[in-house]
Structure 1
Amino acid sequence: MFFEREEGGNLAVLVHIDFPDESKREDSDEFLELVRSAGAEPLALIRGSRSSPYPRLFVGEGKLEEIRAAVEEHQADLVLFNHSLKPSQERNLEKELQCRVLDRTGLILDIFAQRARTYEGKLQVELAQLEFLTTRLIRGWTHLERQKGGIGLRGPGETQLETDRRLIRARINAIQRRLKKVRVQRETSRRARVQAEIPAVSLVGYTNAGKSTLFNRITKADVYTANQLFATLDPTLRRIELEDVGTIVLADTVGFIRHLPHKLVDAFQATLQEAAEATMLLHLVDAASHERDDNIAQVEEVLEEIGAADVPSLMVFNKIDLLEQKPRIDRNAEGVPERVWLSAVTGEGCDLLLQAINERLAIKIVKGTLELEPEQTRLRAALFNLNAVLDECYSEEGQCQLQLRLPQKDFRQLLSQLNMAEESLVWVTKP
C-alpha cells in the first residue's frame, strides 16, 4: 500500500509486560479475548516485567531474544503487544524479528474494521486507521526521492514518504467532510426527537457486558450478538413503549475498553454522541466479571471524555445467571431506582428494568381528576381517544369528572390543538 512492511498473518506470538505504574498496566486475559476477537490464533504468551519501557524496542535485549525464539519455534508471522508502541519501536521490532508487529491500538483498529457494517461506521474506522497510519509511514521507494541534479535524474520535488503523507491527508479530509454530513443528519434526527419530547435511552458499558443481548431482549430486535469483544460497532436505535412514559428511543452503542485510543474516541464522536445527548444512560455491567469495579471506572472515564458524565444513569448488573443472585431493584433513600440486577440471556429481571426506566422517566405524567364543563365535550372525547381516562363519574352537581393518567407532553399537545389554556382547567385532585 503506502509503505513496505513485513507481511502479516493469523499465527501470533503475544507479548504482555507488567509495569508498576497502574496507568500503564493492562489485563492479559482481556488481551487474549481481543486477539481471539480479531481472528488471530495465539501460539504463545511471552510475559515479563519492567520498571519502564525500553526506548528503542519497548522490551529489553533478553526479552527480545525470547520473543524471537518463540516466533521461530511456532513459525509465527505476527507479534502482538498488549501495549501502545511508538512508531519507531514498531519499526525496530519488525526489523529485529523479521515479522509483522502490531500494538494494542492497531489490534483494536483491526477488530473495528472487521465489525463495521454501516456507511458511517466504515468511514469512522477508515479515518481512525489513516490517522494511526500517518505516524507509521516509512520510506517505501527511492525512485521518487529528490536527486542531486542532472538531466533525467531530478525527482518531482518530494520524497515518496511526503507523497504518501499528502495522499493520506487528502483522504482524511475527504472522510471528515463526509462524516460532517452524517453528523448533521444524526443531529437533525436528535433535534426532531427532542422537539417531539421523545426520551432517548442509551446502553453503554464495557465491551462484552451483554448490551446487544439485552437490547434484543427488550426491543425484539435482531442485532448481532457474540461472546467476543466489540461484537457491536454501529449504533442501533429502536422505539419501545412504556406505560407511564409513552414512546422512548433505545440506542445500542459500541462497547468501551480500558485505555480506549483517543483517535478512536475522536473518530467515533458522532456515534458516541448518542450517549452524550441521551435523556438517560443504562450503564450495563458484567456482574460476574472479576474486573467489575475496574470496568465500571473505565466506562465512567470514557463517559467523562465524551461529555456524558452528567447524564442521569441507571446501573444494570447483567449475567446474574452466572451468580447466586436473584433479580431485584436497588433503590436510594428516596425510593428512586439506582441499580437493577438481571440476566439478559434468560430474561430474568428484564421486566424490573422496564419498571425502573418507567419510574426514572415518568416524572412528567399528568395524574389527577379533571372536572369538565358541559361545553368541554371535545376535550372529553379527545382524552378518551388517547386512552387517558381511567374512570369517569359525575358530581352531585352533575359535573363530569375524569380520572386521568397520560404523559404531560401529550396532554399539553392536546390542549394546544383545542386552543385551551391549562390554567382554565378545574381539577378535583391536582396532578
Structure 2
Amino acid sequence: MRKAVRIGMAALSAATVLAGSATAQAATGPDRHSGPTGGHYANVFEEAGYSHHAVKRKIDAAWNQLFHGNPGTAPDYFDGQSIYYQVSPDMGYVTDVANHDVRTEGIGYAMMIAVQLGKKHEFDSLWNFAKTNMQLQSGPTKYFFAWHTRTDGSIIDPGIAPDGDQWIAAALTFAAGRWGNGQGKYAYGPEAKQILHAMWHNADTGGVNMFDSKAYLPTFSPPGVNDWSDASYALPAFYRVFAKADPDDAKLWGKAVAAGEKMLQVAHNPTTGLSPCYSNFDGTPHRAFWEFPPSDESYSITFQEDAWRVIANANLDASWWGVQPWQTQFSNTLENFFIGQGVNSYVSRYQLNGTPLVGGQNTYEPKHAEGLVAMNSTSAITSTNPKRLEFVKDFWNTPVPSGRARYYDGMLYLLGMLYDSGNFRMYGPVNGVWSHSAK
C-alpha cells in the first residue's frame, strides 16, 4: 500500500505483535526451479538487443546500489542510495526513506528480489524483521502483518495492507522451492502456508479473512476496511502458485485467479488503459472516505503509485501462464496512450481520462518516475504494438533511483529488471511436488 497519508487502522484492529526471536537455521540443498507454462520466460530485454551479460551487469548494479550502496547522511538519509539497512547479523529491513518507516509492501518486494537473485542472507534478515516485528500473533488478523512499523520494529499501525502479505507469502513459497526449509521461522514453506491459510480461514475462528468470501479478491485493509479493494492487490500469477503450495484451498485460489484476472481486465479506462489506485470489487474506482474534500485529483480515483503496479501484475500473469487476448488489448491501449504523451517524457500521475494531474502525492519524485517507467516497460511482454520496445529502451536508459524517492521507485525498478529479463521465476511446487529442475 503506497500512500504517504493513510487512515489509521489502530482503532479498527485488536491485533498485537509478536516480539519473540529465534535462531536462524541455514537451509541446505540445491536451487530448485520450475518453469512457466510453455517453458519460457519472456525476455523483452533480449528482444530489444541487450546481451545476457549486459543485463546481468545492470541487475547487479541495481542490487548493489539499492541494497548495499551509500546509506545517506543522518538524520533523514535523503542523499543516499541504499534502502536496505542491516541492524544486526541476522536482521535487516528496507525503509521508505521519505517517511522513515518500514512497510510490508517493501519487505515483500525485497524478499522476492532477494530470493530471485539468490541472496539468502538478505532474505533471511528481512524475513526475521517481518516475523519478529510485523506479524500479528493474536486477534482478528492473526498471522497477517502490521502494514508499517518504525525502523526499530515498533508498530505504527496494526492495520493490514494485503499487497505486502501476498508478496511475503509468495517469497517464502519460492524460498522453500529454491533453498529448501530450515528450522523454526526459517521453515519457509510451512510459514507461507500458515499465512495463506489465514487469508481464507481466520473468520472460521472469529477473525477476519483477507479475501472477500464472495468476490474472491483481497480486501483493502482488514479488519476495518474490507468492503472494497485495490486493483494492484490482484496477483493472479501468484494465486496459481498458491493453489499448489496450499492444496487444501486450491479451489478458493482457483476462484481468486479468475477474480484477479477479471479485476485487472476491467479496472482500467478502455481508452487510456489507466487504472485507479482503489477499486470496488467490480473494478470501478472507489473514492476513499478519508479524502476530503473530494477532488477529481484524489489519490484513490486517479492513476498514481498504487495503480502503476496493475500493469506489471497483468503482464507477469502472461509471462508465467500464457498470454490472453485481454492482456494484449490492455497493453496495446496503455502503450498507445503513453506514445501520445511521449515515451521518454510522459508524466506519472493522471486522471483516468488521461488528463495529467496538476500535483501529485510525492512532489520530490521525478515527473517521469522511474517506477512507472519500469512498470510500463512490462507491457512489451504482451503488446503487439510496433513501438512496444521503445518502452523497454526507455527503461534501460533510466538510472537506478537514488535520493529521497529511491524506496518505491527503486523497488519497482529492480522488479522491472527481473520481469523484463526473464529472471522473475517460479521456484516451488509443480503439481504438488517441489521441482528439482534448474534453468
**TM norm structure 1:** 0.28
When you count helix as a share of all residues, which structure comes out higher?
2
When you count strand as a share of all residues, which structure comes out higher?
1
Rg bigger for which structure? 1
- Between the two structures, name the one with larger relative contact order (CA 8 Å, sep ≥ 6): 2
